[in-house]
Amino acid sequence: MAQKKSVVITGVSTGIGWGAVKVLTGKGFHVFGSVRKQADANRLQAEFGDAFTPLIFDVTDGPGVRAGARQVEKALAGATLAGLVNNAGIAVAGPLLYLPVDEWRQQLEVNLTGVVIATQAFAPLLGAGGSQPVKDPGRIVNISSVGGRNANPFMAPYCTTKFGLEGLSESLRRELLPFGVDVVVVAPGAVATPIWDKADETDTARYANTVYAPALERLRTYMLSIGKSGLPPEKIGEAIHTALTAANPKVRYVVSPSPMQVLMTEVLPKRTLDRITGKRLGLLSS
C-alpha cells in the first residue's frame, strides 16, 4: 500500500463517490472511502478488494472523522496522502417560504460543515499545516455542481451549499498556498445517481395548498428524468482523476451532459434566465 498513491473519498456508497472509487482503483490508487453503514463497507470491500479500505463515519461527526484520519495516518506509515475528495452530500428540496428550518440546517451541516470537518481532519496528511513543506503535497478536490453557479427554484438549500462550496474552495486554495496543497472544484451536471431517485420520495403533499404545487410536480418529474439520462458516475470519476493528477490543473472542471445549456446559464442575463425558468415551471404566465 505504501508504494501506491492513496486518496480519501467521502460518501462512496453509491453515485459519484462509487464512480470515483472505481476509476481511481482502476488507475492504481489505493482508496480510503467513507460510508456510514457496515453493510456498505462490506459490499465495497468485496467489490474493490485490497485496493479499497472502508472508513465508517458520518462527515458531520467530528470525532468519527478524526478517528478515520488516524486510521489513514497509521496505514500511510509516514507517506503523504495524495488527495482528499470531499464528495459526501445530500439534496434537500422545497419552497424556501415553507421549508422546515431543521431540513435547511441539515443540508448545510452535511454539505458545508462536513467539508470543513473532513478538510481539517485530513489536511495534515496532505502536507498542510506543518512547519516544513513536504516534498510532494496532496490535493483537495471538492465536488460542487453546475448548481453552484446557477440556482434552480425549490433547490435553494442544495444550491446554497454548492455556491458556498465554490467560495470555500477559492478561499481555501489561497490559504493553502504556503503548503503547495492545491484545491480543485469538480462541478457535475446531471449524473445518473440515486440522489435523483429520491425525488420520487419527496413529500410535496405538504405544499399542496401553496401556489407552488403545480411547479413542484413539474420539477419532480424533471428530476426523475435526469436520473435516467444523466452521465454515468464513472465520467465524474475521470474528472476527479484529472483534478488529482494533472500537472497544471484547472481550478474548476465542469462535467455535464448538456454543455451548451451550462454555457447559456453563464452568458445569459440573470433576468432572462428568471423568465425562462419561470415560464418552464409555470411560475410565470406566458
Please state, in angstroms and rounded to a whole number, the distance separating the CA atoms of residues 230 and 15: 11
| pLDDT 10s digits, 226-273 | 777 789 999 999 999 999 999 999 999 999 998 999 999 999 999 999
Reported confidence tier of residue 1, pLDDT bands at 50, 70, 90: very low
Residue 2 scores a pLDDT above 60: no
Q: What is the pTM of this model?
A: 0.94
To the nearest whole number, what is the mean pLDDT of the chain? 93
CATH code at 6-194+230-281: 3.40.50.720
Kindly state the percentage of the chain with pLDDT values over 70: 95
Reported confidence tier of residue 225, pLDDT bands at 50, 70, 90: confident
Kindly state the percentage of the chain with pLDDT values over 90: 85
Q: Where are the domains of the chain?
A: 6-194+230-281
Closest CA to 229 of 279, 277, 273, 189: 189
| pLDDT 10s digits, 36-45 | 999 999 999 9
The mean pLDDT value for 188-192 works out to 91
| pLDDT 10s digits, 3-47 | 689 999 999 999 999 999 999 999 999 999 999 999 999 999 999
Catalytic residue among 98, 158, 207, 253: 158
Please state, in angstroms and rounded to a whole number, the distance separating the CA atoms of residues 145 and 205: 28
Q: Which residues of 238-277 are buried (b: 16+ CB within 10 A; e: fewer)?
A: bbbbbbbeeeebeebbbbbbeeeebeebeeeeeeeeeeeb
Q: What is the pLDDT of residue 201?
A: 59
212 catalytic per annotation: no
| pLDDT 10s digits, 86-96 | 999 999 999 99
Please state, in angstroms and rounded to a whole number, the distance separating the CA atoms of residues 47 and 30: 14
